[in-house]
């Protein structure tokens, strides 16, 4: 093997490793979930924050990227940040209120990256974390969704 092939193989390995999160963050039971180029870039930009969030509260990640078809199949709204690769859902284990409080604190500390919306979907036992596009930032909206289409400010004590 000449040096060019070896260098090429090493670069190929690095690229494959860099792309591994894409396979992890398009999990679904609803069939093909193909990335758009833009959504793939967004997932690659934010997934380390999702891994961190998962560690902070020992949560299970149930949904991140959703293609428009998958999003429709799970009843997501068409404008969902999941379709853009800009959202991740966590199912807290153990004491739910403590988990929500802990993750909110981590979010407020900036540990979860450029979060746009932090929604405790209490009626579904899911914490939805939605993001700004890479490079953008702003305030975080903290909400509790206590029913379909029903939101109120998130209260954690
Ligand atoms: Zn969500």
How far is the centre of ligand 1, averaged over its atoms, from the C-alpha of 120 (Å)?
A: 10
Q: What percent of the chain has pLDDT over 70?
A: 97
Residue 145, pLDDT above cutoff 80? yes
* Residue 65, Cβ density class (10 Å: 0-12 exposed, 13-18 middle, ≥19 buried): buried
- Ion ligand 1 neighbours (CB, 5 A) are 87, 89, 128
Q: Are 143 and 120 in contact (CB under 8 A)?
A: yes
Tally the domains of the chain. 1
62 alpha carbon to ligand 1 midpoint, in Å? 9
- CATH code where residue 62 lies: 3.30.1380
The domain of 47 spans 3-153
Ligand 1 center from residue 123 Cα (angstroms): 13
Distance CA 68, CA 74 (A): 10
Tens of pLDDT, residues 69-120 = 999 998 888 899 999 999 999 999 999 999 999 999 999 999 999 999 999 9
Instruction: Output the pLDDT for position 85.
Output: 97
- Please give the pLDDT value at position 1: 54
Residues contacting 84, CB < 8 A, separation 6+? 38, 39, 42, 133
């Amino acid at each position: 093997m000449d040096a060019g092939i070896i260098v090429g193989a090493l670069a190929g390995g690095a690229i494959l490793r860099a792309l591994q999160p894409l396979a992890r963050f398009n999990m679904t039971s609803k069939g093909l979930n193909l990335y758009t180029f833009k959504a793939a870039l967004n997932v690659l930009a934010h997934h380390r924050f999702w891994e961190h969030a998962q560690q902070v509260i020992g949560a299970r990640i149930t949904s991140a990227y959703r293609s428009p078809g998958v999003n429709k199949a799970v009843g997501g709204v068409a404008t969902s940040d999941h379709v853009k690769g800009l959202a991740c859902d966590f199912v807290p284990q153990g004491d739910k209120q403590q988990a929500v409080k802990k993750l909110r604190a981590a979010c407020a500390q900036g540990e979860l990256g450029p979060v746009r919306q932090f929604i405790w979907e209490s009626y579904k036992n899911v914490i939805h974390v939605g993001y700004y596009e890479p490079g953008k930032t702003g305030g975080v909206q903290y909400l509790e969704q206590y029913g379909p289409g029903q939101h109120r400010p998130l209260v954690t004590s």
